[in-house]
Structure 1
Amino acid sequence: MTLSSQRHLFDLPDDVTWINCAYMSPQLRSVSDAGQQAVLRKARPWNVRPEDFFTDSETLRNLFAELLGADADGVALVPSASYGLAVAAANVPVRVGQRLLVLAEEFPSNVYPWRELAERAGAQVVGVRRPEDGDWTRALLEELDERTALVAVPHCHWTDGGLVDLARVGERAREVGAALAVDATQSLGALPLDVAEVRPDFLVAAGYKWLMGPYSQGYLYVAPKYREGRPIEHNWLMRGGSEDFSRLVDYRDDFQPGARRFDVGERSNFVLVPMALAALRQLLAWGVHDTQETLRGLTERVAKGARALGLEVPPESLRAGHLIGLKRPGGYAPDVATKLAARKVYVSVRGDSIRVSPHLYNTAEDVDRLLEALAPLV
């Protein structure tokens, strides 16, 4: 089912065409309200009770698990995708000579931790080349063999929305004994993902893009086999019995259950957590499948108009419905995004593509405004 315009839920001026959610989502009014109330709460710290260090963060953990189709014990609260990937890099076993697969032109946060791990373990990071036909899944499966210790991939490529079939890649990874780490920052919340089908070992997502939340609030899913692994920091909240503030000096070696041992310090953040809660509640109310169907209608309109301008777009069957790259043979002028912004049309340039990423505050009129502004620049 397609959804009607949700622009009224955002503080977006009528003359602004923000079609750039992959850069940063606008803030829902409900998220802004939650943040303002939370900031004022800190002015009266006597109203912050010991149990408040646990209640909202546990609710957030459960809401994210619901969005992902996972169990709450598998969710850790982290500040960023890079933090979650660092946890993965600290726990995935890698032997000398093995290979760690990433996509060519992948976002740096899903490359740097694997470079460091490869150097430490005597392994090799292999960038899978961008396929001419746009089929990232086929390209990955051709490289994924018994030499592979890890596959670190997104659900869709951050520059143009090119899809990776995570279920097929995950199945092959298990066949050869490789771990699967997924960076879902550019997809989760807008593109359906069944964790029971994909079965990632680790999955991370920053919260300020398609999850509609504040900056510095992210999420990490950890598969059961890794939940007794090694955290990258040691904070008091992750330890057993931390609910009893009077006994915190009775130092304990045991951890809170599940993936909570991987939570970042001060995970109870009394400003960010309420904002993230408001965001996830709205996403669940919309429904990810309906969101994707609605956004696909917009990106298909973008694709049709872009082709009429002589631009190249990934095949519809091989790209996500919420994010699309418009490639110009020979590339764009360096100031193309600036010129579009001068007309209050906002997109990003990533690699050799203009990345267009609408959300439910966008309409067909926004797409037409983008195409009209883009026409003289190509």
Structure 2
Amino acid sequence: MTTRYDAHFELGDATWLNTAHQGALPTVAAEAARRAIAWKQKPFELTGERFKGVPEGLRAAVARLLNANEDEIVLANSASYGLHLIANAYPWRQGDEIIVMETDFPSDILPWLALEARYGVKVRRLKPQGRVLSPDELRAAVTPATRLFCTTLVHSFSGHAIDLDALGDVCQSAGVVFVVNASQALGARALDVTGHPVDAVTTVGFKWLCGPYGTGFCWMAPRLIDRLHRTHAYWLSMLTADDLAGELGELRVGPVERAADFDVFGTANFFNFTALREAIDLLLAIGLEAVEDHNQRLVQKLVESCTENGYRLISPSAATASRSSLVLLTDDDPAALARLKSRLDREGIFTAVRAGAVRLSPHLYNSTSQIDLVGDILNESRAS
């Protein structure tokens, strides 16, 4: 029997199967945001301890989530923030090469393209034979000029997960920086950054982590931090409000010492960061393994319903390492697929359409009865 976690959320009668777009905010996170609003209503509640404690608390929660050190965490507002940070802070040289997947989500490609005219860097867009790049395809593409490889952990347009360790081994053996966008994975599954050959992981906080929109973070291995130069000098990453009470003396901008030197401006983001911390703490309390088990039970039921009713799966059909929490189905008859989407909409079942497929992305607030209803609709739509 699947454990019910929907009591932590307030979705009402809606069936939200679009976590790949936005995760639902848990009640405890909403309460934290309301407390933060109350602080702002009475600015004397915005104490120095809270200005310091909000980013410190979130950084500590993220470190626990990733089994990382706090000094390796960059607080951000998106996954793109981390990608642009690395793109603009890395010491590029004329002729350096970056490899991306041609069919990846745009956020994993665009930051690197902006470097071509500025530094003479070449971005190679590899088209995979399957849904995501295989280790053999990457190995064959790497050249002595290759400096960095960026890809997604779970592909938004197909639901396929990459072979993180095998791709990382290819990069590690060639001295290539390996950057991973985990936005469609982290929160639906555990990710221990100490157990994989990866140099950086960036993600949003508002999908599977169930935080507010406009949140995210980036983890970077110390070996990568040591190679990066400053992109900005944010005063709160170097000073505190208490420092303003006396003579500041001569301001200096020193070398990068920790990941926090790259934090987004406004790290005492009371409305968003307090809520994201509560959402992460909730997931950790439930346990990421339990969340993944719950999600995969729902995914399995969806896969079986799709197969039984003759829909073609874009996402993996077998329960292998390549399966994620995203289920994408399509039909050879576009009109039939459009009718299915319309029926789901009418029944208050929220999904998305990506790359010509209906995408369903269940999370811990969904129940087996909701998935059974989707199965009934798949059957009825096929029969009609």
TM-score (norm 2): 0.90
Aligned to 2:372: 368
Aligned to 2:106: 108
Aligned to 1:268: 268
Residues 131 and 158 in structure 2, CA contact (< 8 A), matched pair in contact too: no
1:212 equivalenced with 2:228 (yes/no): no
Q: Deviations over 1:162-203 (max 9, x none)?
A: 011112211211211211111111111112222112242221
Distance in 2 between the 1:276 and 1:257 partners? 26
Q: Identify the range of structure 1 (367-376 vs 259-268) with the bigger mean alpha-carbon deviation.
A: 367-376
Q: Secondary structure at the match of 1:271?
A: helix
Q: Which stretches in structure 2 are left out of the alignment for 5+ residues? A: none
Distance in 1 between the 2:74 and 2:131 partners? 37
Aligned to 1:244: 243
2:141 to 139, 143, 155: 143
Number of equivalences: 376
Distance in 1 between the 2:188 and 2:78 partners? 18
Residues 18 and 362 in structure 2, CA contact (< 8 A), matched pair in contact too: yes
In the superposition, relative to structure 1, how do residues 139 and 368 fare at CA in structure 2: closer, same or farther (>3 Å)?
farther
Question: How far apart are residue 341 of structure 1 and its match?
Answer: 1.4
Question: How far apart are residue 292 of structure 1 and its match?
Answer: 1.0
AA of the residue aligned to 1:9: H
Question: How far apart are residue 134 of structure 1 and its match?
Answer: 6.4
Aligned to 1:57: 55
Q: Secondary structure at the match of 1:54?
A: helix
In the superposition, relative to structure 1, how do residues 93 and 175 fare at CA in structure 2: closer, same or farther (>3 Å)?
farther
Alignment map for 1:217-236 (pairs within 5 Å): 217-228=215-226, 229-236=228-235
Q: Identify the range of structure 1 (360-369 vs 239-248) with the bigger mean alpha-carbon deviation.
A: 239-248
Question: How far apart are residue 241 of structure 1 and its match?
Answer: 5.9
Q: Secondary structure at the match of 1:169?
A: helix
Alignment map for 1:20-169 (pairs within 5 Å): 20-132=18-130, 136-169=134-167
1:356 equivalenced with 2:360 (yes/no): yes
In the superposition, relative to structure 1, how do residues 199 and 135 fare at CA in structure 2: closer, same or farther (>3 Å)?
closer
Q: Deviations over 1:224-259 (max 9, x none)?
A: 123353343322111156652324843232478510
In the superposition, relative to structure 1, how do residues 95 and 312 fare at CA in structure 2: closer, same or farther (>3 Å)?
farther
Residues 172 and 197 in structure 2, CA contact (< 8 A), matched pair in contact too: no
Residues 103 and 130 in structure 1, CA contact (< 8 A), matched pair in contact too: yes
In the superposition, relative to structure 1, how do residues 180 and 135 fare at CA in structure 2: closer, same or farther (>3 Å)?
closer
1:322 equivalenced with 2:321 (yes/no): no
Residues 233 and 253 in structure 2, CA contact (< 8 A), matched pair in contact too: no
Q: Which stretches in structure 1 are left out of the alignment for 5+ residues? A: none
Q: Identify the range of structure 1 (189-198 vs 73-82) with the bigger mean alpha-carbon deviation.
A: 189-198
Q: Secondary structure at the match of 1:230?
A: coil
Q: Secondary structure at the match of 1:24?
A: coil
Residues 230 and 256 in structure 2, CA contact (< 8 A), matched pair in contact too: no
In the superposition, relative to structure 1, how do residues 125 and 133 fare at CA in structure 2: closer, same or farther (>3 Å)?
closer
Q: Deviations over 1:238-291 (max 9, x none)?
A: 115665232484323247851010101111111112111110110101111221
Aligned to 2:303: 303
Distance in 2 between the 1:281 and 1:131 partners? 39
Identity over aligned pairs, percent: 27
Q: Identify the range of structure 1 (90-99 vs 155-164) with the bigger mean alpha-carbon deviation.
A: 90-99
In the superposition, relative to structure 1, how do residues 362 and 272 fare at CA in structure 2: closer, same or farther (>3 Å)?
same
Q: Secondary structure at the match of 1:268?
A: coil
Question: How far apart are residue 320 of structure 1 and its match?
Answer: 3.0
Residues 242 and 248 in structure 1, CA contact (< 8 A), matched pair in contact too: no
Distance in 2 between the 1:11 and 1:306 partners? 28
> RMSD over aligned Cα, in angstroms?
2.4
Q: Identify the range of structure 1 (265-274 vs 234-243) with the bigger mean alpha-carbon deviation.
A: 234-243
2:351 to 344, 347, 355: 347
In the superposition, relative to structure 1, how do residues 134 and 110 fare at CA in structure 2: closer, same or farther (>3 Å)?
closer
